[in-house]
Chains A and B, each alone.
Chain A
């Protein structure tokens, strides 16, 4: 009897653990309620082009992704990248020479788009601001996805 109760409690504990971790699983595009947002506690935030972006603490250790909340409480995902277009031909050199320096740069030549990856989200914000100053005629932003499209 005792054993079966122990097993039951064990299973219940596992179930609760699974449920609570499922509650924490946020996915891009999801809009959080006020209650859900307040459960996340005080979040570090950045003011970017009149938009306030909050950073959600990593859900898994070692994750390279940064989950974000925009002003409308929609979850976005960033890989700490800055995207640049409508820039001069030497854009890669400019990015390389601008601090903070990127971890990597990918240039999509056919569409003239450049993606620079940084060590963390804070650096990507810093770099975006620096690049806007360095490339005033270019279109520059954080490469954040607020959800994936679905067949329709």
Chain B
């Protein structure tokens, strides 16, 4: 239905010309896609793969050349081919699940889905005219599958101080990261290797994250985030990175807010699209994290970028259609991209795990640093594909280790960046809010009922109740939102999918779900036909307001609160306690609900936070016994949390904040190595302040 709808839209006219005809005329009269010019028309003709490659090579060889992206000869026909032209396409289950190589391996594959990009590629939308900047560890510009789309004028190397962002030190373990991320978005359709989701997007890169760069200046941050000539041309920023372990002060330290809101000025005020990974908060193999599969003890909201509405937070799905066993979860997740598992076994990562290992299965195929000496694909790697030793039909399929596969929300984010590029190639006038809305509107609900099943390795159903007095799980007892109430002594670790009062399905594990590229592009075209659908105004971000104070003693300066919002006495650990209600008067619709906490002598790692809306929807914004337990954090200032579970609901009415406080003197139910600052409680002169606000649509 969506396909036919989209085709009908393509055939409709705009300004008296059929879209396709207008496109061909635009491309042939030379008004195509220079990086400094407005983006290309949706179906802009491009040069042939060979021409593109030749021109890209020329640009690389002469870094100073800033010629436009219009190439010499345009074969003015719409390229409607899918990734079948690419030799490794059969491994790209995120683009074509049905015909995947991995179908022969039911232990690690089956019941999943792809992003439904093929119908979009058949319509000819392949990211033409869209500038994607991969902010990462650099890019192997000479990779045969990246070179054709590489745009030096959209790139920068802090190590070389030119616009060729090769990974500064190829021997570093993170050197390949940017190259692999970039290939997922925009590996060229050139009969070689893999297919990017937007294989004709213009690809820029910067080596900002490279481990070997030690002399970074603060200035660089502002250059990376759109302030430099090269970064200001970006339409989409891919950020497969984060600082989710951090303890930050949201908005009190204004740097993140300044940087993020500055992105809204790009694209002539339509705002750049900023896509960011949620982090791998469930990664059982990381000793820094909680040693358990079913408990996300790293909240994506710890990275305060995730609290800004113009940042799209992406978590990951595996090839069996459920959350990747490591992928971060939390109420700031917007959507889910494709990430897979670990790919440690088999020839191409299709092998099942050993019993003591986390879930395994295929990951996301992409590009790598060329040659088998360095990169993710190298002579000592786990599988024969990664070692460059596999053959199909008697021919080696990765002889120079130019290709690899990666996992993590690092892989999930670029799959969504790719979909966003397809949307912008269909409609370059979409604002950042439009792109975010369309990702949500096109998203599919996945893994329904997951909270009552074991979905992470050697784990337990995530709706299992935890006793707040002992920090232990209550066996087979599961619960839902109604189990979170003032005075309760246990709570469910996860609420699963919930439909809010606005009719939006939301889950902390999946956000609004997995976007469908065909539906997303159809919506982008619908917005093009009817620009009134577009949301050009910004969201409304008021100041935080104080909503409650808890303390061992009363203190001065609490005039903004009434007596019901002040609680004096010992901190109520080991139970759920209402921090009171706050009234929101404005007749607005919710975009994001935010809570901010400041405290002294309070065990932050033992605190969970839930919020109930006037419409009755409940969201878990923070789980108790998270990684802050490990560090014994007792002092925090403006620690921010957010939730999209209330998206679209009326803001007006009474909101309730519930503190889900575990036992700070008892070890969490999971084994937690190197627990620092234990026991964590202290009631001597403690202070805890709650603030909240509603960011309105």
Contacts and interface: CB of A to CB of B under 8 A. Distances in A.
Contacts of B259: 111, 113
A152 B280 contact: yes
Given A85-B258, A110-B226, A112-B265, A72 B637 contact: yes
B255 A150 contact: no
Contacts of A81: 218-219
Interface string B488-529: 000000000000000000000000000000000000000000
B586 interface: no
Contact of B635 (A71, A109, A143): A71
A21 to B, nearest CB: 16
A113 B242 contact: no
Interface stretch (B246-254, B438-446, B454-462): B246-254
Given A141-B254, A141-B255, A51 B249 contact: yes
B217 A79 contact: yes
Nearest to A27: B214
A81 B137 CA distance: 26
A40 B147 CA distance: 50
Contact of A146 (B253, B258, B261): B253
A144 interface: yes
Given A72-B247, A146-B253, A108 B228 contact: yes
A151 B637 contact: no
A147 B223 CA distance: 17
Given A108-B223, A151-B177, A152-B240, A31 B253 contact: no
Contacts of A29: 243, 246
A139 interface: yes
B187 to A, nearest CB: 19
A51 B637 CA distance: 8
B616 interface: no
Interface string B231-257: 110000001111110111100111101
Interface in B153-179: 174, 177
Contacts of A106: 219, 222
A77 B261 CA distance: 22
Contacts of B226: 108, 110-111
Contacts of A49: 252
A33 B676 CA distance: 10
A143 B410 CA distance: 27
Interface string A126-152: 000000000000011101111111111
A87 B249 CA distance: 23
Contacts of B227: 108-111, 113
Nearest to B409: A152
Contacts of B136: 151
A115 interface: yes
B69 interface: no
B196 interface: no
B489 to A, nearest CB: 30
A81 B217 CA distance: 11
Contacts of B631: 31
A144 B222 contact: no
Nearest to A73: B635
B348 interface: no
B662 interface: no
A113 B277 contact: no
Given A83-B255, A110-B232, A151 B241 contact: yes
Contacts of A111: 222, 225-227, 232, 259, 262-263, 265-266
Interface residues of A, number: 38
B351 interface: no
Interface string B656-697: 000000000000000000001000000000000000000000
B54 interface: no
B272 to A, nearest CB: 9
B254 A110 contact: no
Contacts of A86: 261
Contact of B218 (A74, A79, A149): A79
A90 to B, nearest CB: 18
Interface in B287-340: 303
Given A72-B637, A79-B217, A108-B228, A150 B241 contact: yes
B277 A50 contact: no
A31 to B, nearest CB: 6
Contact of B247 (A74, A78, A83, A148): A74
Identify which of A72, A81, A144 gathers the most chain B CB atoms within 10 Å of its CB. A72
B257 A139 contact: yes
A149 B636 CA distance: 20
A50 B637 contact: yes
Contacts of B258: 83, 85, 113, 139, 141
A70 interface: yes
Contacts of B254: 83, 139-141
Contacts of B381: none
Nearest to B233: A110
Contact of A151 (B240, B244, B265): B240
A60 B485 CA distance: 55
Contact of A85 (B216, B261, B279, B303): B261
B216 A148 contact: yes
B597 interface: no
Contacts of A85: 258, 261-262
Interface string B184-225: 000000000000000000000000010000001111011101
A151 B246 CA distance: 14
Nearest to B178: A151
B408 interface: yes
B633 interface: yes
B288 to A, nearest CB: 11
Interface in A107-126: 108-113, 115
Given A141-B253, A143-B218, A149-B241, A110 B209 contact: no
Contact of A152 (B219, B225, B228, B277): B277
29 contacts: A71-B635, A72-B633, A72-B635, A79-B217, A83-B222, A85-B258, A106-B222, A108-B222, A108-B223, A108-B226, A109-B227, A110-B227, A110-B228, A110-B231, A112-B265, A115-B222, A139-B254, A139-B257, A141-B255, A145-B218, A147-B246, A148-B243, A149-B239, A150-B209, A150-B242, A151-B209, A152-B241, A152-B244, A152-B410
The 5 closest A-B pairs by CB, nearest first: A108-B227, A111-B262, A110-B232, A141-B254, A149-B241
Given A147-B246, A151-B174, 11 more contacts: A31-B247, A79-B219, A83-B258, A110-B228, A110-B231, A110-B265, A111-B265, A144-B255, A146-B246, A151-B241, A152-B279
